[in-house]
Amino acid sequence: MLHTSPLEQAGTGDAGGMNVYVVESAKRIAESGVQVDIFTRANRPNLPEKVEIAAGVNVVHLEAGPYGAVTKDELPSQICALMSSYLRHELQQVPNYYDLVHSHYWISGQLGWLVSERYGIPLIHTMHTMAKVKNQSLAEGENPEPQSRAIGEEQVVKAASALIANTASEAASLVSLYDACPDNVFVVSPGVDLRTYKVNGGKSVARERLKMAQDQLLLLFVGRIQPHKGPEVLIRAVAEMLQHTPTLRSKLRAVIIGGPSGNGSTEPERLEGLARFLGVSEMIQFVPPVAHEELSDWYRAADLVCVPSYSESFGLVALEAQACGTPVVATAVGGLRAAVADGISGVLVDGHNPKAWSATLMRLLMEPQRRVLLSMGAVKHASHFGWDATARGILDVYDFVLSKGSNAKLSVI
């Protein structure tokens, strides 16, 4: 994972659900006896070459390009430098040290492709997001993904021995949009850390810890602040709710947790301006990204967690919230259809019309008994998505490709 480090805090910059996915699955894979090295680009000077983050899991820093001055869009220009740095690392190992390479996201897939051909080891690839899928569902004013990315993804699909998709719909997109061989595409659902994200005292205890009124109506958004994630939809929905029910002004609050990312570098300021223009600024609170333990309290404290994304390969936020017992309202797109059991653990909304979102949120806020039923369904639904199951699914793909025992060494890029 070259464009973001697994050591970074998720929710800001380019660090998001993929960071969580790679770290958590690597830990569980290592517990099965597989040595895992995760390669990432060094984004600042004087970083150690290798950092152990768990037993059997190391993060290895590759030197390429000026520190902190290379954006994700510019990173493909550094593939040669990254390959050179990888080769220097490989020279320090015994011959045939790695059994396979598993790349995440298309930029890492480009390097994984080179490593696979150079050392004759299989390439496993997980897309996480795809240009052709994102470009079918852009937010208003959002720039489309460049054709160069779509071409790069096509090359990785062709080079990979196996492709791992988060959902059946993503697997279908790989086949229909990228001409992937169906026999090489495997569906492995992402997981959730059920030891951190759990009910654990529920809403009242969480609100006490966060010093929040017990009778407040709280809507929560968690994620990188960029147009594609749809935080603007939540702000506009709050304005719609207030227009129809002015008495909500003193009780309703929407909290947006995350930091700017990608083409949304000025998005927090724009959203704050939008909230002022709509007259709801005192009801919208922006909170910087927080660690998992505090984030779980925010999930538990919320009445509803909102995921108004324009596309999602899965939607880990939705799963984390449900594990904490909080129903999710999400857009009916991509992997969110699998992450949220519509009518059982939350509600799926067609499209991004603020009036539709307002109506859905208002109805749920006014029906506490229904939220209790959805909360029970949310915990049960999330319980099927532990990271152990994800790791077992990934290992099955490795075994399919390697046809070896479990004492393998894995290079994750």
pLDDT in tens, 280-293: 999 999 999 999 99
CATH number 3.30.1490.20 given to 202-382 = no
| Predicted pLDDT at 14 | 58
Quote the tokens at residue 135: 């470009």
**What are the boundaries of each domain within the chain?**
17-191+387-412, 202-382
**Identical topology for domains 17-191+387-412 and 202-382:** yes
- Which secondary structure element, helix H or strand E, spans residue 50, and what is its range? strand 50-54
pTM: 0.86
Average pLDDT, 10 consecutive residues per value, the chain (413 residues): 67 68 94 94 88 94 81 86 92 91 95 95 95 92 92 97 95 97 96 92 94 96 93 98 95 94 77 97 95 95 98 92 98 94 98 97 97 98 94 95 68 77
For the stretch 35-56, pLDDT in tens is 999 999 988 888 899 999 999 9
Please name the CATH architecture into which domain 17-191+387-412 falls: 3-Layer(aba) Sandwich (3.40)
* Three-state DSSP state, 140: coil
HSE-CB of 375 using CA atoms within 13 angstroms: 21
HSE-CB of 358 using CA atoms within 13 angstroms: 16
| Predicted pLDDT at 70 | 75
Residue 54, Ramachandran bin (φ over 0: left; ψ between -120 and 50: alpha; else beta): beta
- In 105-260, at which residue ranges do the beta strands (DSSP E only) sit? 123-126, 162-165, 185-187, 217-222, 252-257
C-alpha dihedral sign at 373, 376, 380, 381? positive
| Predicted pLDDT at 3 | 64
For the stretch 238-270, pLDDT in tens is 999 999 999 999 999 999 999 887 655 788 999
Residue 103 to residue 126: CA distance in whole angstroms: 6
- Backbone φ and ψ of 218, nearest 5°: -115, 120
- Which secondary structure element, helix H or strand E, spans residue 284, and what is its range? strand 284-287
Give the residue among 118, 114, 117, 43 at the shortest CA–CA distance from 74. Answer: 43
| Predicted pLDDT at 405 | 47
